Amino acid sequence: MANELVIRDGLISLGGVTFPYVAKTATYTIAQKDYFIDCTSGTFTVTLPTAVGVKGKIYIIKNSGAGSITLDTTSSQTIDGSATKTLLQYKSFQVQSNGSNWAIGGIDGEQGFQGFQGFQGDQGFQGNQGFQGEQGFQGNQGFQGFQGFQGNQGFQGFQGFQGFQGDQGFQGNQGFQGDQGFQGDQGFQGDQGFQGDQGFQGNQGFQGFQGDQGFQGDQGFQGDQGFQGDQGFQGDQGFQGDQGFQGDQGFQGDQGFQGDQGDQGFQGDQGFQGFQGDQGFQGFQGFQGDQGFQGDQGFQGPGFTTISNPADNRILTSDGTSNSAVAESSLTFDGSSFVIYNNSVAADTALISVKDATNNALFVVNSDGWMKVVSKSSTGQTATFNAFTVADVKGNAIFFDYMAKEETSSYYRAGTIMSVWNESANTVEYTETSTNDLGGATDGLDFTVKIVSNNLVLEAAIASGTWTVKVSVRIM
């Protein structure tokens, strides 16, 4: 974050902070260094920079002129879900990047006009205290205008650097508290409604008898309270990106060569020999028994009588004759490590190959450094079939790595199906992730994992096409 200062625990400013201000009268593309863009006259377009890579970046755009300002974006990005926004006179937007698009802060409308005050009714005749005139209707209270936009709170100033601690050195001066950001212009207060004309004062009645006290006029209706301006729309929260597909588990690399065996440690000093005990009494020598019969010499086995290329740790293989063998230099076992090594083998040659009864390779380690694992291969399939079956007591989790090919049109798809199961409850859950289709749509083939007759089955459901499916299985 070159040329940036991160404030973590607040900032106190003892002076002012100035934010960038530009005034524009024609089409303009906002620069990274801008902050407040004031469109002072005319009708034109202001374009926001990309929101990507500047998450949290804030701009304020205000239309101080009589024209109409169009706020546009780049790279098909949006402003609160829209491609553009329009600013009329004295309106403003605060926009902030969410990392991919722009979101608008709250919008406060102008305060509406205050309604007219109702007419005050005529004062009643005072006869015998005449009737008191009805109090005029109190005018409806004017609509409360929309509250103007609250300006963006200014950036909190940078917290000063904390002084070096030395040997508990002097505490560094507390950094200046940044100036409080500009308070946005308060929306215009609507014009105060006209005060209604005061009602005519009635003629003073004749004082004769003091009449009954006149009826008190009905209190005028209290005007409707003005509408409170709409609270600005809170910008939509950015969409959370889809969780990426979990990549296939990489093949386990070949086991590295075993390092040379370390030198044998020094043999410790031999302990002191204990004192020799007193020699016991020599017993009487027993009678020497008769010498047994010597058995017949056994048959000599058909072992190798000739070994070519002998050396320590080399494994012997037959050379095709009855009694001769070859000590293989590229096939060794030293008691702990089995090593296959050949620096002259041709490229793309199998060093280790495990095959089934029909000579198909199930597991191959290649001289070019890759492994091939195929647990089952099915070709020419046109109807639903079981791509793989295993007894449900063999584990509780399984990974099916598969390759599917539609043979007629050469459409390809590869993926991994992860599954867990409970053999006692006969319940199973699975999730599939796959590549995009290659060559064309592969929706004619779908996979399902289920438990059938105490077996966990990967079922390949075929709706159309002729398919080859190869499956590599890892069970835990």
The per-residue pLDDT for range 417-470, each reduced to its tens digit, is 999 999 999 999 999 999 999 999 999 999 999 999 999 999 999 999 999 999
Nearest to 62 by CA among 192, 172, 152: 152
For residues 109 and 90, which has the higher predicted lDDT (pLDDT)?
90
CA distance 174 to 306: 90
**413: confidence class by pLDDT, cuts 50, 70, 90:** very high
Across the strands, what pairs with 29?
47
Over residues 203-222, the mean pLDDT reads 54
How high does pLDDT run on average in the chain? 75
Among the residue ranges 77-91, 187-201, 401-415, the one predicted with the least confidence is 187-201
pLDDT, residue 349, reads: 74
The pLDDT > 90 percentage for the chain reads 37
Region of poorest pLDDT, from 21-30, 142-151, 317-326, 335-344: 142-151
Q: Is 55 helix (H, G, I), strand (E, B) or coil?
A: coil
Task: For residue 30, name the pLDDT band (cuts at 50, 70, 90).
Answer: very high
What is the pLDDT averaged over residues 373-388? 90
Q: How far apart are CA 368 and CA 387, in angstroms?
A: 29
Closest CA to 72 of 84, 62, 80: 84
Walk me through the domains of the chain, giving residue ranges and CATH numbers: 21-104 (2.60.120), 306-344 (no CATH), 375-475 (2.60.40.1680)
Closest by CA position to 431, among listed 453, 398, 467 = 398
388 pLDDT more than 80: yes
Is the pLDDT score of 119 beyond 80? no
Distance, in Å, from the CA atom of 348 to the CA atom of 281, rounded to the nearest integer, reads: 76
- 397 CB neighbour count, 10 Å cutoff: 11
- Residue 449, classified by CB atoms within 10 Å of its CB into exposed (0-12), middle (13-18) or buried (19+), is buried
**Percentage with pLDDT > 70 across the chain:** 54
pLDDT at position 25: 96
Instruction: Report which of residues 127 and 270 the model is more confident about.
Output: 270
Contact 258, 336 (CB under 8 A): yes
Between residues 417 and 312, which one has the greater pLDDT? 417
Segment 100-118 shows an average pLDDT of 62
Is 418 within 8 Å of 399 (Cβ atoms)? yes
Q: What pLDDT was estimated at residue 230?
A: 54
Q: Does position 157 have pLDDT exceeding 50, yes or no?
A: no
pLDDT band at 259 (very low <50, low <70, confident <90, very high): low
pLDDT band for position 112 (50/70/90)? very low
Indicate the residue type of 377: S
Q: Reply yes or no on whether the pLDDT at 415 is more than 70.
A: yes
Q: In this predicted structure, which of 86-95, 106-115, 170-179, 185-194 has the lowest mean pLDDT?
A: 106-115
pLDDT at 181 over 60: no
The residue that leads in pLDDT, 410 or 140, is: 410
Grade residue 317 by pLDDT with cuts at 50, 70 and 90: confident
pLDDT at position 123 is 60
In this prediction, residue 316 has a pLDDT band, given cuts at 50, 70 and 90, of confident
Q: DSSP label at 72?
A: E
Angle of CA points 24, 19, 43, to nearest 5°: 15
**Mean of pLDDT values over 341-352:** 68
The model's pLDDT over 125-149, given as tens digits with 9 standing for 90+, comes to 555 554 555 555 555 554 554 444 4
The segment with the largest mean pLDDT, out of 218-227, 298-307, 424-433, is: 424-433
Q: With a cut of 80, say whether residue 411 has pLDDT above it.
A: yes
